[in-house]
Structure formats: structure tokens, C-alpha cells
Structure 1
Amino acid sequence: MKISFSVLLLCLNAALFSQEYHLSGPNKKLQLTVNLVYGKLVYSVDYEGVTLIDKAPLGFSSNEGDLTQNLTFVEAQQNELSKSYTQEKIKQSQIDYKANTLRYTVRNSENKEFSILFRVSDNDIAFRYEIPKWGDTRAIVLEEEVTGFSFPQETTSFLSNVMRPMTGFARTAPSYESAYTADKPIAEQTASGGYVFPALYKVKDEYWVLLSETGVRSLYPASHLSAYQDGTFYIEFPNQKENNGYGSSSAQLGLPGITPWRTLTVGKSLKPVVETTIPWNVVEPLYEPSQDYEYGKGSWSWIIWQDASMNYEDQKAYVDLAAAMDFKYILIDAWWDERIGYERMKELIDYAASKDVGVFLWYNSNGIVNDAFQTPLNKMNTSIERKKEMKWLQEAGVKGLKVDFFGGDKQETMRLYEDILSDANDYGLMIIFHGTTLPRGWERMYPNFVGSEAVVASEMLVFVEDVRKKEPYNATFHPFIRNAVASMEFGGVVLNDYLNRGNKSGQKRLTTDAFQLATGVLFQNPVQMFALTPNNLKDAPQFELDFLKELPTTWDEIRFIDGYPGKFSVLARRNGDTWYVAGVNAESESKKLNLDLSFLAEKTASLINDDKDGDTFTKEIKIPKNGKLKLTIQSGGGFVIVNE
């Protein structure tokens, strides 16, 4: 057999410059392609044969070598993965995860190797870098990643920009409190500071891609997306100016070492995006819980009654509110140490316990990284003070803490998060973070973690008129983006007409009661502090209070029903045998829906909805035999259906 020189040269070029591997999910719709082309590593993502990400770059540079170019192929190993687990704190309690895996290994010109481990399931891709020990080198500074996401030019996006460091209240930014924009062409996403995770993209008018990261802990900084650059969004490390310049913005990695997982959720509808569990599928618990933590609803004076409520009598009134509503907890916010004091706080904790109400106490995380001045201060930022304080908290009977004002994503800050969580578990304390980063798999990694803010949350409704006007608009994003990848402690469900103690004038609420109740279902967090006030026990309709008394905060299943970010959202959650279907409308006109509720066909249910005047009502309904239910949501309104 004769082989021409040109054919031989072509074969040699293919072997030298390209080593291509394909990996599909179990149902074959989602396909990953990995190439090593001209010494650079790239990947592509196709769904149903349509390219959604094309030749996006991979690799990194470090103080011990450049792993972005002049790479050669070493080996590739494929395998299958199947695991089942239970997780009470997320959107679904029982998870079966099946994926096909590829470990793709390359080396640079200095014979330094690294691998990328990919996992591809039916609608999700997760990947991370794995770096072995390089000779005698035991640690590296990973200075930059070239990890990118390259979308078709006509793609639109739903992104939230990174807040400028050392801005905002008491120089505590960034804290993931920028709103999302809807359907913006990617070429226009040029914010100099980049964009936070998660990020949602609409590709070719019918496909959706949700990007995020998970598995971030003390061993790596949290990252974000760059501004759009030449067709690609790149992974970027934190701004060096964060946290007053303290700490490195790079990653200090011991060898052998791994990076966090970057995740892509892909679908032809928003259903896979809403229902994904990929942030938790690829991580494992880091320690055992010291006790069985209990989840539930709580009352919270500060959100409506503000700083003036930080006194013994007002907090006692909120304990009574929690008890009357069958809530498990009360959150006592800033200044409690100065205005109530440790001795009387112990009395208040005992009083709450007599009412079967547990106490969460607020703490300032600050040491020297910003100017937040609220107390208790300097109790959480060092190991000695933290353990001393937590010993008192355990002895006093406190159930959990809300720790606030972090303002940064550096590895040093990730270490502080982890230290607080680990120490708190030793003392039987749950942790909520505010003024904070996105939790990245933390519900599974840290057994006593029970939620983070990381959103334009309820406090901004009080402080900013524009946020009140855009409350429905902002709310429609969260099931598809922020709350799709992590628990979200929003602190909402306001039943006051005005967002203040007097409830007669001032910051007027612009949404209906049904809207507020619906967000109690739409926004998921295992411990959720609601914005009720003691006067609501008398001035709110009894059916609304009864609904909130029964509303769960943990769920067994989630289903996407309908919606579009920035316009409206409808989803269903199941707790035990009871389904809750909830929706809100951000559009300027009422919206007529034809909902597919086949899983409730012929069942009787209670409906809470608004009439055309915005007045909230309740009535009993029966879901038709075909499961199709016609329903109208008012502008700025919402609805909830609960099967009986």
C-alpha cells in the first residue's frame, strides 16, 4: 500500500496539533468536545446538535509555569459516574446524579502536567483543573486563568455586574447586590469590573445556558466573569482593591491541588435551569454536623422597625409574634450587645425558649477590611475571640448567627467564611451570611450553613425607591438565576402597606399581598426570616396568616411551570404530599396564563390571587381533568395554589 507524502504530512499535523475527544451526557443530547489545537486547549458545547459554546479557551498561568500554550496531549480517560444522596436544605431532597466523565491531561514545554476533569450529565457540565505535584514544588501561586465561555455573537444575556470595591455603605462592597439586566446583547456587556456568578444566557433564541461555580472553600478565591472580550467571557479573580487591599487576589494552591468546579446548565427551555442540582452534585460534606439542625421561618424586627427596635420590649414583642405564627426563630439584629446587653439578652433567650422560639443573633464580620461600625464588632474575625464568643452563645442557648459585611471574594475571605462555619458547628450554631458572596455548594459542604443574602434583598426595598418600583421585575429573575444555584435568604414577605413602623405613610409597598405570599414559595432558603410586624396579627387577613403558618422552608421537589426572567415566573415546590404553585407578574398589564398542572389533575386546591383592583382574595378551586388551569396574574401581583 502506498501513502502519498501529503497525506502522511496531514496525518502528522493532526496528531501533532489536535487531539479531540467527545463526551456526551447519558441521554446523548448534551455533548462536550475537547481539543488541543496548536498547543492551546479549547472546548465546545453542543445541545441537540446546535453549538452553544465554540472553542472556548482553557488553561492557567502560575509562578511556576505557563499552562496556557505550547501544550501537548498526554492521555484521556473516560468513565461513568452514578451517585444518590439526600440533601434537606436545597430545592430537592432526593437526588440521583448520573454523568459521564473525561479526565483530559496535557503537559507544557517544561513537562509540567495538569488535567481537566469534566462531568457531563443530561443537562449539566461541570469541570475543574487538577494539578499534580510538580517535582519538588509543593505549592504554587495560580496567577490567572484563561478559562472562558465563548457564545455565538447573537446571544443575549441576563447578568449582574460586580460592585466596585470599597464603595457603598461603609465601604463594604462588593456584596452581590446589583440587579440583573434582561436580554442584553453580549457585545454590550462591557462593565469594567465584570459580572458575578450565576450568569444566564439565551442562545439562538431558544436555548438557555446558566453559568456558575461551586466547591469554593478556603483553598481558592471565588471568581467572576470578565466583561465581554472578543467573543468570550473569561474567569477573573477578585479585584486587588477588595477588603482594603488586604490579601492576595490570586490563588495559593498546595500541590497536588484542585480548583473549584465551573458549571454549565443547558436546555431548550428554562426547566433544566430552574431544576438543576449541579452545584451540589459535585461536592461533598466537609465535616459532620455536631447536631441535628432544624430549619424554619423566623421573625425579624430590623427590616421594618429598624435600629430603634433594638430594645428588650420590642424584641419580646417579636418573640411573641414568632410564637403566634408558629415560627421557629427570631433574628435579633445589630446593636443588641450595646442596647440590650449580654445579661438581659440571656433573659430574652430564655423567654423565647419558653415560647418554643429559637434565637439568631447578628454579628459584624469586620476586623480591618471595611468601615462597618455596627456592633457586636471584632467578635468573628479572629479565632480566639470567635471561640470565646461562641462558647457564650452555646451556653446561652442561641441557635444561630447572622454574620454581615464581608465585601470581597479573595481566598483570605473564603478562609474566614470557612473558619466561621467550622467553629460554629463545634458549638452547635447555624450560620446565615449577609453582605456576602454567592454560596457555592455550601449547603452540602457545610452542614450548619443555612443561607446567604447575595441579592438585592428586602432591605433595599426600605432604603431605595427605585428598588420598590422594580420589586416585581427583580423577583422574576431569582428562580432562573440567583436562586437556581444556591439558597437565598431574602427576608421578605411584607404585609405592611408601608415599609416602616407607623405603617401609615412613607415608603409605600407597590406590590400586592398575593405577590408577597408568592415570593415565600418562589424564594428558597432553609431558614427564612420574614418581614412581618406585630401589628400584622391584627391588620392582615387571617387566611394570609394561616398560609404563612403552614408554609414550609424545606422542599422535596421543584418543577418549572412557566416564565421568563424580567417578565413573570411560575414554579411549583413540593413538601411531602403538598404542592405549592406560585407565580408573580412584573409586566405592566395583567397576564393570562394557561398553566400545565397535570400533576394536580382533578385535585382540590386553595387559591390565593388578586382581583383587578389589586385586592387579595382566596377561594377553593378544582384543577381540571386535563391539568390545564387558566389564571390571571395582575401587574405587580401574584398567586399561590396549595393542593388539599
Structure 2
Amino acid sequence: MPAIPALLRPRPLVLTLCSALLASAVAAPPALADPTPQAKSWKVSGPPGSPTAVVALDPTDGRPTLAVRRGDRTVLEPSPVGLVTERADFTKELTFTGRSDRKVAGSYTSTTGKSERRTVDMTESRFRFRTAAGARVDLVTRVARDGVAYRYVLPRDEGDVLSEASAFTLPTGTDAVIGKYRPDNELLFSRYASATQPTTGTYMMQALFNTPGGQALIAESDVNGSYSGAHLTHEEGSPTYKVALWNDEPVQVPDGSALTTPWRAVITGDLATVTESTFVDDLAPPSRVRDTSWIKPGPALWTWLAGGKEAGQSLEAQKKYVDYAAERGWPYEVVDAGWYYKPGEWDVIDPDWQTNNWMPELVRYAAAKGVKIQVWLHYTLLTDPAEREKWLSTLERWGVKGVKIDFMDSESQERMRWYDDVLEATARHHLMVNFHGSTIPKGLQRTWPQVMTFEGVGGEEKRTNTAEHLAALPFTRNVIGSMDFTPGAFHRPYRPNVNSDAGELGLTVLYESGIQNLAGTPESYDARPEARRYLEQLPARWEHTRLLTGDPGRSAVLARQAPDGRWFIGGTFAGAAQTVDVPMRLGSGRWLVETVTDGPSGLVRAPHVVRGGDTLAVPVIADGGFAAVACRWWQGRTSCDS
């Protein structure tokens, strides 16, 4: 997988209050040459520059397939589609009965993510099929500039879903960046020279393939309690990755109910297109939260890796962390496990936690210093509706602004129903959410904008992370939504870039999270004044994201634009020390770029004046990285914070 620099293209962003309310508006597309019901293959084309989806029926056994192409190049070979229910097999012996097309277009805003303003421009085609016995299924496809997606729509009374035939067959010459599957989605990503190489087993959905037709990232969107989450299965030597449902359990469909499944998606294009894509969110239902004015992203001082369990049970320790967050200008402090347990015990809830607790005092103390409090909860506290209401209403009354909910460790249909209930309740109580031990975003941040981030990643807490894993995440897990990696733990001896403080600093920008939980100790920040200075400048959200250069599993450099117009840049690299040529695709004119790199005696900040489009040479140490901030230059300007 050779290094591929990002090719940045201007993207029109037109947003008004009216257009934001029309995010799912549809209009009839120009008339398409539709084949007769006897035809065996049909193309779906999107806006200019889009890939093409090809839906087909095998003429011998009526098996449906879907392929993806870019021009004359193959992204996906004809891949199985279909599903099996209790009452019908929709994977073979199907007959095509019709097709309809429409445009899906509009715009919306996002409280988190790579950009605030989003545009949607897709072509949707609905293919209608029936079995010999008369059972019906619709295959709905969507094609956009950055992807292809499909889902199934079943009429009433087809029974539970037993399995899907859905799969992705890669062309010869494809390599892969992929990770094994576990219910918490926290295993490592690795790079393979061939997509057939990974051993037989289960893999995470966010798998990246470099095909002859371009990059292809597998994903899903619009998963809720009507379905379970999915992962991939693969047999060594095979070019096909199959979609598997949770524990192969049937998806329960209430008697007499219709069913619309989640989207199966392929984000595709060059590396920049995939990395910058919002396709997973674009496919998701619009926001269910009408008033989002209370939802405020921003950096947080997270005290777990800094202070552990003891800090979680100490009001005085938490006040000191609040003081430090206030000094840095960070808007949040996160109190982790321990605060509602009996003093000195770590698995026993204090029965008087509502009345005999120091949290209200901490919230008042923090508020006086301009800092808001978020708290950790074990998900089992929120399973019973009455208990859930007691916990969330009490936290809202105290003035807590967010909850970090942990240890779900399942993507079953039952657990997805739990997510539905908790998302509705936290929105009603104006509590922002950080899910840990969790599923991955799957479009939920568009539908429920109070969700600031998900873990679902092998993050800073892990002791087994590799430099390869760090350089894979911007192209895999973080593409599909916010990722709570919890960077900034300079004091941790287990991080793969332990010798590169500049690399650790760069992760705070390279990895997007609505709440960027900074995991270091105050002492570690004070010992690194250049890192502390940089972290004090982190904005609450991003306006735009651009890939400057990268090679999945080996290197990644991203630039993210703050609301004030400055660009923050983070880079990570696996391998030997090197000098990296970074294209400064930030816009025309002159820019002052302040780089923070590793020096013999610590972090070194250096100014550079470059023109937009120039290449900047940046030194990085082995398995290291760098951070930078860029601002408009004028004569005499020497710093981006002046």
C-alpha cells in the first residue's frame, strides 16, 4: 500500500436554517433508462465523480449480487446480498419485479466530528424482488461521491431474520488494514499485503481495503434496537468477508411488523476521500434532538489515568483537578469510577448516594471556576427504567453535564434496544454522553447529537498498542465517528510512542473526539511546557478536516481547522526516524506554521513561514510524530497565539 498524498478538492457548503431542516428532502431524479423486469443487471450512478453500484441476478439460480466500480476499475467484485427469514429465503431463486429511483439531498449540522456543516447528495434506487412462493423483499441502494450502501426492506409477516448473505468480495491485488473482532471493539489493527491473508476468524466492520479501484472501508449505519450490530467473518485464503450478526442469533421482528435493516456501506475513493468522509452519518436518520443549544463539545481533564481509584473517591483531589482544568481553559473535568461507591470500597454502591455525596459540592465548586463536571456510570445502573430515571434526573438536578457509561460489551439486539432507551433519556435530561466498553458510532451521533464520543477502540489505557495501530486508526475506526482514545498520557510507560512526546501531543488532533479526554497528570503537563501550551489552545470543535499525507498502518498526518481559522495538525509514524515532507494544503497565501517536535532535551517549538501548497520538512524520531498549528502570516507575526 504505497503512500498516497491527499488530493484536496473544494467542497461547497451551503447552509441556512431552512436547508438544515431539509436534511432528508428528496426530489425526483432525471429519468433513467430502466431495464425491463427480464433484465439481469442494473446500474446505479450517483453525482458526478461517484462510484457505480451494479445490482445483478445470477441467470441460473436467481442469486442477487452487488458490485462496486469506479470507471473501469473494480472496488468490489459481485458480492452476495440477501437474507433468510423464518418464512422465506431471499438469497436465491429471486425474480426481479421492478425498480424506482429518487434523489436524496439536503444539509445538516453536526455537534461533533470532522466538520460542522454537512451536505448530502445521493441517488437512491429501490429494487423489488420476489420468491417463487410470492414473498417480497426490496433491496435499497444509495450511491454518493464517497460511497455505496444498501439495505433490505421486508413487508409484514416475514418472521425473524435468521441470517444475512451480505458479503464483500475483494478483487485480486487488494491489501488490507483490519482488526480482529471483540464485543468492545478494542483489538488492534494490522496491515496485510493481501486481503486473503488474515486468518480464519471474526473481524471488525471498519476494515480498510486498498483495491485496484480505490480505497474501500466497510461500515454500517442506522443500527438501533430493531436489529443487532454486525461484524465480519473471513476464511483464510478467501477474498470474501461475510456479514455476521451478533452470536448468530436471530433478529426478532414483532409479529405483523415490517422491517428495514441497517445500511451495509462501502466508503470508497482515494485515501483523502475515505478519511474525510461523513458517509456513515449521512446515511443515518436526522437528529431526534430539536434543541441542541445545551450540547457543548470540548477538551476535558480525565482523572482516571491521572489519579486512579483513589482520586475517584476524593473531593479534595477532584477540586485540584478542577483547578488545573480551569487554569488551562479546559471546559470539562471527568470524574471516573469510585464517586458513588462506599468509601474505601470499589464494588459496593452507597445506598445513600443521592443525599450523602460530595458530587453536588464539586459541581458548585467547578462552576464557580468555569468548569463543568462529567461522571462515570456502570451501564447496569441504567437498565431498569425506574433506576435509570432516578440516576439521570438526580445528575441533571445536581448540574452534572455529561455521563461516561461503561461496560456494555455487547452488540446484541437487546443491548441496541438499551442504547435506544438511554439515548432518549439522556437527551431528555440534557446530559451529554461518552460510551465506553461499547459499540462504535454507526451514525448514532447524527441521530442523537448529545453523543460526544465512543470508545470502541484500543486506546491509551491499553498496554499492547503498536505504532502500526496508531497509524491505522485515522483511516479505519476514526473515519466512522468520534473516538475516545484518551491521548495525552505522557506519564504512561506503555504507550507505543513512549519516546516521542511530540507524537503523543499530535494524537490530540489526529484523533477526533467530541470530548477529547486528556489523560495525563498535571505534573506530566507541567514538565512539558510546550505540550501544555499546545493543549491550552485546543478548540472545542472542528470546522473542516483534511488529510495532508498518509499510508495506513505506517503514517498519518491530518489537519483540522478551528472556528477561528487556525489549522491544527497532528502526525504519527511507524518505523525508523525520518524527515517527513508534509504538503501544506491549507489554502492560498502565506502561513505561519509552528511545529512541535522531539529534541534531544525535550519538545522543541519552531516557526516556519510557508505558502499554501508548499511542502514542509518535519523531523520525526522512530515510531514518533509531531504536532503543529498554522495561522495566517503577516510581517512581524511570530506566534499563532498572538
- One of 594, 597, 620 as aligned partner of 2:607: 620
The alpha-carbon distance between structure 1 residues 132 and 511, as it changes in their structure 2 partners (threshold 3 A), is farther
Q: 3-state DSSP class of the match of 1:343?
A: coil
**Residues 257-286 of structure 1: CA distance to partner in whole angstroms, max 9, x if unpaired?**
21111111112x311110111011122235
**Residue in 1 that maps onto 2:21:** none
Q: How does 1:497-508 map to 2 (within 5 A)?
A: 498-499=492-493
Residue type matched to 1:276 in 2? Answer: S
Task: Give 2:364's aligned residue.
Answer: 350
Amino acid at match of 2:357: E
CA distance 1:114–1:637, shift in 2 (3 Å): same
Residue 336 in 1 paired to residue 339 in 2?
Answer: yes
Matched, 1:198 2:206: yes
Indicate which of 484, 487, 496 corresponds to 1:492: 487
Counterpart CA distance in 1 for 2:140 and 2:215 is 23
2: CA distance between counterparts of 1:199 and 1:509?
Answer: 24
Q: Is the 8 A contact 1:595 1:631 kept in 2?
A: no
Query: What's the counterpart of residue 477 of structure 1?
Result: 472
How far apart, in 2, do the equivalents of 1:64 and 1:115 lie? 16
The SS at the match of 1:617 is strand
- The change in CA–CA distance for 1:74 and 1:614 in structure 2 (over 3 A counts) is farther
Match of 2:516? 528
8 Å Cα contact 2:180/2:203 also seen in 1? yes
Alignment-mate amino acid for residue 153 of structure 2: E
- Give the 3 Å change call, closer, same or farther, for CA 309–148 of structure 1 in structure 2: same
Measure how far apart 1:312 and its partner are: 1.7
SS across alignment from 1:188: coil
| Alignment partner of 1:79 out of 98, 102, 105 | 102
Q: Which amino acid aligns with 2:606?
A: K
Alignment gaps of 5+ in structure 2: 1-34, 344-352, 632-642
Q: Give the whole-Å Cα distance in 2 for the aligned partners of 1:381 and 1:424.
A: 13
Question: Deviation at 1:108?
Answer: 0.8
Paired letter, 2:177: F
Q: Deviations over 1:48-91 (max 9, x none)?
A: 21122121111100012111111101101123232122213121
Deviations 1:95-118 (A, max 9, x none): 222122211110111211111111
Change (3 A) 1:425 1:350: same
> What amino acid is the match of 1:365?
Y
Give the match for residue 187 of structure 1: 196
CA contact (8 A) 1:321 1:533 kept: no
1:313 partnered with 2:316:
yes
SS for the counterpart of 1:182 is: strand
How far does the alpha carbon of each residue in 1:397-426 deviate from its partner, in whole angstroms, 9 at most, with x for none?
A: 111111100111111001111211111111
Distance apart, 1:125 and its partner CA:
0.7
Matched residue of 1:201: which SS? strand
How many residue pairs match? The answer is 579
The equivalent of 1:280 in structure 2 is 281
> Post-superposition shift, 1:33?
0.8
User: 1 CA distance for matches of 2:496 and 2:569?
Assistant: 27
One-letter amino acid of the structure 1 residue matched with residue 590 of structure 2: E
* More deviation, 20-29/409-418: 20-29
TM-score by length of 2: 0.86
Which residue of structure 2 lines up, in the alignment, with residue 8 of structure 1?
A: none
Q: CA deviation at 1:427?
A: 1.0
Q: Are the equivalent residues in 2 in contact too, given 1:17–1:36 (CA < 8 A)?
A: no
CA–CA separation in structure 2 for the residues paired with 1:256 and 1:249: 16
For the residues of structure 2 that align with 1:404 and 1:103, how far apart are their CA atoms?
Answer: 39
Matched with 1:519 is 507
1:327 aligns with 2:348: no
Residue 351 of structure 1: SS of its match in structure 2? helix
Whole-angstrom distance in 1 between the partners of 2:573 and 2:460: 18
Deviation at 1:597, TM superposition (A): 2.7
Task: Give the Cα–Cα distance (whole angstroms) in 1 for the partners of residues 597 and 125 of structure 2.
Answer: 49
1:24 aligns with 2:45: yes
382, 385, 388: which one aligns with 2:384: 382
Q: Which moved more, 1:216-225 or 1:589-598?
A: 589-598
Residue of structure 2 equivalent to 1:5: none
Distance 2:569 2:525 in 1: 25
1:439 is aligned to 441
Q: SS at the partner of 2:340? A: helix
Matched AA of 2:54: T
Uncovered stretches (5+) of structure 1, i.e. residues with no partner? 1-13, 164-173, 241-247, 367-378, 500-505
Question: How far apart in 1 are the matches of 2:276 and 2:366?
Answer: 37
2:377 counterpart of 1:363: yes
Change (3 A) 1:608 1:457: same
| 1:152/1:507 CA distance change after superposition, 3 Å | closer
Q: Residue 272 and residue 394 in structure 1: after superposition, are their counterparts in 2 closer, same or farther (change >3 A)?
A: same
- Equivalents in 2 of 1:231, 1:622: separation in Å? 48
C-alpha separation in 2, matches of 1:406 and 1:437:
8
SS of structure 2 residue aligned to 1:478: helix
Does 1:217 pair with 2:224?
yes
Deviation at 1:537, TM superposition (A): 5.3
Letter in 2 for 1:345: M
1:554 and 2:536 matched: no
Distance 1:143 1:56 in 2: 19
Please tell me the residue identity of whatever aligns with 1:305: G
Question: Does the 8 Å CA contact 1:211/1:265 hold for their aligned counterparts?
Answer: yes
**TM-score normalised to structure 1 length:** 0.86
Q: Distance in 2 between matches of 1:401 and 1:625?
A: 41
Q: Which moved more, 1:26-35 or 1:270-279?
A: 26-35
**Distance (whole Å) between structure 1 residues aligned to residue 510 and residue 329 of structure 2:** 21
**Distance (whole Å) between structure 1 residues aligned to residue 569 and residue 496 of structure 2:** 27
Which residue does the alignment assign to 1:426?
Answer: 428
Shift, 1:202, TM fit: 1.3
* Aligned 8 A contact 1:84 1:94 in 2: yes
1:384 offset after TM fit, Å? Answer: 0.8
Offset from partner CA, 1:538-585 (integer Å, 9 cap, x none): 3221x3222111112411111111111111101111122111222111
- Residue identity (%): 26
Structure 2 match to 1:232: 240
1:178 aligns with 2:187: yes
| Contact 1:25/1:123 (<8 A) preserved | no
Give how far 1:447 is off.
Answer: 2.3
Shift of 1:393: 0.7
Once residues 495 and 278 of structure 2 are traced to their aligned partners in structure 1, the CA distance between those partners, rounded to angstroms, is 38
Aligned equivalents of 2:215, 2:495: Cα separation in 1: 37
Q: What is the distance in 1 between the residues matched to 2:603 and 2:138?
A: 57
Matched AA of 2:557: V
Contact 2:490 2:498 in 1 (8 A): no
Change (3 A) 1:124 1:625: closer
CA distance in 2, matches of 1:630, 1:411: 50
Q: Which amino acid aligns with 1:121?
A: A
- Partner residue of 1:144 out of 155, 163, 175: 163
CA distance in 1, matches of 2:65, 2:192: 27
Cα distance between partner residues in 2 of 1:123 and 1:95: 13
CA contact (8 A) 1:197 1:438 kept: no
Deviation of residue 318 (structure 1)?
1.0
The AA in structure 1 aligned to 2:368 is S
Match of 2:145 among 119, 122, 137: 122
Q: How far apart are the structure 2 equivalents of 1:508 and 1:62?
A: 46
Cα pair 2:176 2:195 within 8 Å, conserved: yes
The Cα offsets for residues 490-530 of structure 1, whole Å up to 9 and x where unpaired, read as 1111233x45xxxxxx9897142211221111110111110
Q: Distance in 2 between matches of 1:598 and 1:232?
A: 39
Q: Look up the SS of the partner of 2:590 in the other structure.
A: coil
The 1:256/1:594 distance shift into structure 2, 3 A limit, reads: same
Q: Name which of 590, 601, 622 aligns with 1:635.
A: 622
* Offset, 1:442: 0.9
Counterpart-to-counterpart distance in 1, 2:455 and 2:88: 38
Q: 1:493 to 1:109 in 2, by over 3 A?
A: same
Deviation at 1:600, TM superposition (A): 5.4
Q: Distance in 1 between matches of 2:567 and 2:596?
A: 14
Residues 534 and 123 of structure 1: CA distance in aligned 2, closer, same or farther (over 3 Å): closer
